[in-house]
Structure 1
Amino acid sequence: MSQEKQTVALISLFASGFLAASKFAVGLMTGSLGILSEAVHSLLDLGATAITLTAVRISDRPPDRTHHFGHGKVESVAALAETGLLFLTCAWIVWEAGKRLLFEDVHVEVTWIAIAVIVASIVIDFNRARVLRRVARKYNSEALEADALHFSSDMLSSMVVLAGLGLTWAGYPWADALAAIGVSIFVCLAGWRLGRRTINTLMDAAPTGAYERIAGIANETDGVLALDRLRVRPGGATLFVDIDVLIARTLPFDRVTAIQNRLVADIRASFPEADVSVTARPVQLDDETIFDKVMLISRRRGLAVHHVTVQHIGERLSVSFDIEVDGQMPLGQAHELADALERSIAAELGSDVEVESHIEPLHVATLAGSDIPEDRRDAYLGALRRLAPDTRMLTDVHNVRARENEHGVFVTFHCRVEPSARVEEVHEAVDALEHAFRQEMPEVRRVIAHAEPLSATA
């Protein structure tokens, strides 16, 4: 990236030097103010292009401890310097043209060399403006775009000088001074456009339409409740986007991270040059349940809870749950964790709430297990299929697996249920089957059933 930008800037520098020297020589030979004004213009172009070359070299440096957002704005400073040079050119041209029109009688000699130099200038400016504009758009370089705009105006002003020389040769000597004033008009217009854009960049003005597009992307991202704050500012070739969004505080951390990553990806799809920073701010929802709040507080503390039960006892609220901790943890330490969790829940729900917890061991270690022999598995399958009809709901027991470890035998199986059956009814039926099965097979430590609708595939 840096090499291509520097190459086109260096070529432009040599072109400006060649044109400035040629125009000065021909201007002094012919006495044409129009050509001399173009020579001064090209000399300023030489200085501006030198500034541009320096700027693109600095702007491509990576961020450091002093410049945390990189060095991209040096291109804006260079473009502002070019703007000042453009306006200086205007002032000098208008001053000299006014003197010639009002006070001086200057003879202008129109020669083929003068015509050739101006024509060559138009051709050179056209080609380098085209190349500079292409590279500027490719790398979003303000300094190169300023150079492209500069040389586009040069090309037009050279055309005005050429017209002035033609009128002078036809017998209208004042046409040369008027052509010089015409050059100044083009220069002023170019300087005004360039200066306005540069100042906007230095003042961190967001590119037109960028705020609306990014806000729309944020509001359309799944999981984002609302856009809270958005700041967009350009810095050289980089567009810095700082965005805060509101999300439900009950979402797990991995879901929050996924929302942030999706938002960053969608913004970069529209703005490839964007450096995006997303802050997700959790907020409480109006329809947040007590269950949601208990699960949220436990997740924040890295604790696993289940069997959350909420009861209204008159005017009081009672919350109970099971909390799982490492089975090897001392009871005193486990009780401190449970007590701290109870206090946090009480602080969230109100001081008059009653909070009770039951501590259970969580087996975090991976157990070494093995499949039981086929004849025993078939016995378990036969028992389950024989007992299932007693539930009057569960049918088609299949996918029976039985594994044994140091804690005993663990049996899992699938069964089918009418899709219209309520979950509560299915759960009761599964519990009844599991209880009856363990009565017949006391060596089984745990039974895990997976109920699925009749239409489900095995």
Structure 2
Amino acid sequence: MSANSEPHNTQHGHEEPDLKSFYTYQTEVRRVLLLTLVLNVLVVLLKFVVGWWTGSLSLLADALHSITDSANNVLGLVTNQLASPVPDRDHPYGHQKYEAVGALGIAAFLGIACFEILKGAGERLFSESEPVTMNAISLWFLLAVLGINIFVAFYERRVGKRLGSNILIADAQHTMSDIWITIAVMGGLIGVWSGVQWLDLVLAFPVALLVIRSGWVVLSANLPWLLDEMAIAPEAIHDEVMRVPGVVNCHSIASRGLLGRQVFIDMHLIVEPRDVLSAHNITEQVEQQLERVFGPARVTIHVEPHSYVEREISYGIAEGDYEGQQGHSDAHYDAHHESHHA
């Protein structure tokens, strides 16, 4: 084999992931989920007590919906334990997608909760039901529930964004829907207190719409990760690679993963040196440049001979088309970067 002409594959980022950083992340997520689990169980108990006391079906339905919060926390704890970046024989790309699967489970719980709300409202609309009663003590209980939900939602969202945790962000989104539901239920019960019995029923429908919206937000945030949607615009990767001295051409660029957590990048590369060692050194510089700009990455580079120069930097994008799409690609990268580092 000729050392100065044979193309070769080099895989970078093959060193072990930063386990210390991951286990710190895992511990923080678990701590948040355990705290919110305790608070969510308290919320469920308060809602059931007040719902039974007042006879409010909407509040009892809300309590059933809040049970999904506790189930979400348990689901989050399980997926957090499974979602390791460390590869093994059966999962060579790690296990981090378990977290996205857990977030989709939350979206499913939201769908079930929405169905239960609409079902309960429909039954009350077409059948006779006992009148709902309300008093000041019940209202104070509901205000306590509202305060707990607000704390949980903003706490989970803040920590989730800081850590880049999909499961915490999704659970915070779910809890936000609980806040609006609780406000709507309180409004209905205050209306009942004032003698407007039908208000409790009417408010159930907009509450259901809010729950549907929360489920869609969670679903749309996690499907791209599971479907291996582009993680970084190929134009942005191309820009960084071409800054490395000795690089002649870079094409067939692809990326997937979660920006800021773990990204997998593939590309074909042509370099000026023709010997294997020099080419390898340049690919190491390419890897370092990409990790410096985009964060943790496993980069696979296929080095090709000079005759393999191509204009198409990625699938369906040629260098001639690049200038016209640069603004769009920069915006796409900025949006990804902002969403995972906010």
CA 1:212–1:183: 2 relative to 1, 3 Å: farther
Letter in 2 for 1:189: R
Deviation at 1:192, TM superposition (A): 1.0
Tell me what 1:298 maps to: none
- The answer as to whether partners of 1:139 and 1:237 remain within 8 angstroms in 2 is no
Larger radius of gyration: 1
Tell me what 1:39 maps to: 63
1:84 pairs with one of 105, 108, 115: 108
2:157 pairs with one of 133, 139, 145: 133
Letter in 2 for 1:181: F
2:264 pairs with one of 228, 241, 244: 241
Matched, 1:226 2:249: yes
**How far apart, CA to CA, are the structure 1 residues paired with 2:230 and 2:100?**
14
Deviation at 1:167, TM superposition (A): 2.0
CA 1:285–1:10: 2 relative to 1, 3 Å: closer
**How far apart, CA to CA, are the structure 2 residues paired with 1:242 and 1:236?**
11
Matched, 1:12 2:21: no
1:63 pairs with one of 87, 99, 102: 87
**How far apart, CA to CA, are the structure 2 residues paired with 1:132 and 1:274?**
27
Tell me what 1:160 maps to: 184
Tell me what 2:226 maps to: 202
- The answer as to whether partners of 2:86 and 2:94 remain within 8 angstroms in 1 is yes
1:183 pairs with one of 199, 202, 207: 207
Tell me what 1:257 maps to: 280
Tell me what 2:237 maps to: 214
**How far apart, CA to CA, are the structure 1 residues paired with 2:45 and 2:238?**
52
Letter in 2 for 1:197: A
**How far apart, CA to CA, are the structure 1 residues paired with 2:82 and 2:108?**
21
SS in 1 for 2:252: strand
SS in 2 for 1:277: strand
Matched, 1:276 2:276: no
CA 1:234–1:250: 2 relative to 1, 3 Å: closer
- The answer as to whether partners of 1:76 and 1:198 remain within 8 angstroms in 2 is yes
Stretch of structure 1 that moved more, 229-238 or 114-123: 229-238
CA 1:115–1:265: 2 relative to 1, 3 Å: farther
SS in 1 for 2:195: coil
Equivalences, count? 285
CA 1:118–1:274: 2 relative to 1, 3 Å: farther
Tell me what 2:328 maps to: none
CA 1:155–1:48: 2 relative to 1, 3 Å: same
- Which whole-Å deviations, capped at 9, do the CAs of 1:347-366 have from their partners, x for residues lacking one? xxxxxxxxxxxxxxxxxxxx
Letter in 1 for 2:178: D
Deviation at 1:241, TM superposition (A): 2.2
Superposition map of 1:44-123 within 5 A: 44-60=68-84, 62-123=86-147
Matched, 1:172 2:192: no
- The answer as to whether partners of 1:75 and 1:236 remain within 8 angstroms in 2 is no
CA 1:224–1:12: 2 relative to 1, 3 Å: same
- Which whole-Å deviations, capped at 9, do the CAs of 1:379-405 have from their partners, x for residues lacking one? xxxxxxxxxxxxxxxxxxxxxxxxxxx
Q: Relative contact order (alpha carbons < 8 A, sep ≥ 6): 1 or 2 greater?
A: 2
**How far apart, CA to CA, are the structure 1 residues paired with 2:203 and 2:296?**
42
CA 1:249–1:9: 2 relative to 1, 3 Å: same
Superposition map of 1:410-429 within 5 A: none
**How far apart, CA to CA, are the structure 2 residues paired with 1:95 and 1:285?**
63
Deviation at 1:251, TM superposition (A): 4.0
Deviation at 1:237, TM superposition (A): 7.0
SS in 2 for 1:205: coil
SS in 2 for 1:158: helix
SS in 1 for 2:304: strand
- The answer as to whether partners of 2:273 and 2:279 remain within 8 angstroms in 1 is no
- The answer as to whether partners of 2:269 and 2:301 remain within 8 angstroms in 1 is no
- Which whole-Å deviations, capped at 9, do the CAs of 1:225-267 have from their partners, x for residues lacking one? 3332222222697333222133236444454234322322222
Tell me what 1:431 maps to: none
Letter in 2 for 1:233: R
- The answer as to whether partners of 2:79 and 2:102 remain within 8 angstroms in 1 is yes
**How far apart, CA to CA, are the structure 2 residues paired with 1:46 and 1:267?**
40
- The answer as to whether partners of 1:248 and 1:285 remain within 8 angstroms in 2 is no
- The answer as to whether partners of 2:100 and 2:222 remain within 8 angstroms in 1 is yes
Letter in 2 for 1:83: A
SS in 1 for 2:42: helix
% of aligned pairs identical?
28
- The answer as to whether partners of 1:246 and 1:283 remain within 8 angstroms in 2 is no
Normalised by the length of structure 2, the TM-score is 0.76
Structure with bigger helix share is 2
1:266 pairs with one of 249, 265, 289: 289
Superposition map of 1:349-388 within 5 A: none
CA 1:236–1:248: 2 relative to 1, 3 Å: closer
CA 1:251–1:23: 2 relative to 1, 3 Å: same
Tell me what 1:409 maps to: none
Tell me what 1:321 maps to: none
CA 1:273–1:145: 2 relative to 1, 3 Å: farther
SS in 2 for 1:63: coil
Normalised by the length of structure 1, the TM-score is 0.58
- Which whole-Å deviations, capped at 9, do the CAs of 1:19-69 have from their partners, x for residues lacking one? 112111211111212311220111011111100011111113622221111
Letter in 2 for 1:177: L
SS in 2 for 1:225: strand
